[in-house]
């Protein structure tokens, strides 16, 4: 091999190393930028998820309170209707509901209406 060929091979090798190194450097810079953007998006998503979870928890809490109140009223009305029929001595011949039971049921309907 001549000196010129050795210099050309060395130059080609140096160029190959430079190009590979610069490509690696560019990839590293791109990856760092991508990771930073990904972390920022993840932080925003976590913030939105926390806000949505808070709203959902508040709505659920209000629903559970309303349901507990409604269950209490339902149990009281059921007990009242049972007491009415337990205390009544006779049933009507036409199987009509007891007037006091109708009053309790009408109250329930009026409470349920918006």
Give the pLDDT band (50/70/90) at residue 26.
low
**C-beta of residue 100 within 8 angstroms of C-beta of residue 82:** no
What is the secondary structure of 54-83 as a DSSP string? HHHHHHHHHHHHHHHHHHHHHHHHHHHHHH
Give CA separation, 10 vs 15, 44, 53, 78, 106, in Å. Answer: 8, 51, 63, 97, 100
% of the chain beyond a pLDDT of 90: 29
pLDDT tens string 40-94: 999 999 999 999 999 999 999 999 999 999 899 889 988 888 888 788 777 777 8
pTM for the structure as a whole: 0.50
Q: So where are the chain's domains?
A: 18-88+95-112
Give CA separation, 48 vs 28, 45, 55, 59, in Å. Answer: 30, 5, 11, 17
Q: What does the alpha-carbon distance between residue 85 and residue 37 come to, in Å, rounded to a whole number?
A: 71
């Amino acid at each position: 091999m001549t000196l010129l060929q050795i210099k050309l091979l060395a130059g080609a090798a140096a160029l190959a190393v430079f190009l590979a190194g610069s490509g690696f450097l560019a990839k590293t810079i791109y990856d760092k930028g991508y990771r930073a953007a990904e972390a920022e998006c993840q932080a925003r998503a976590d913030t939105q998820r926390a806000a949505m979870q808070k709203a959902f928890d508040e709505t659920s809490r209000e629903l559970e309170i309303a349901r507990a109140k409604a269950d209490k009223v339902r149990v009281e009305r059921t007990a009242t209707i049972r007491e009415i029929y337990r205390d009544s001595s006779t049933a009507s011949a036409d199987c009509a509901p007891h007037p006091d039971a109708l009053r309790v049921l009408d109250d329930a309907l009026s409470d349920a209406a918006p």
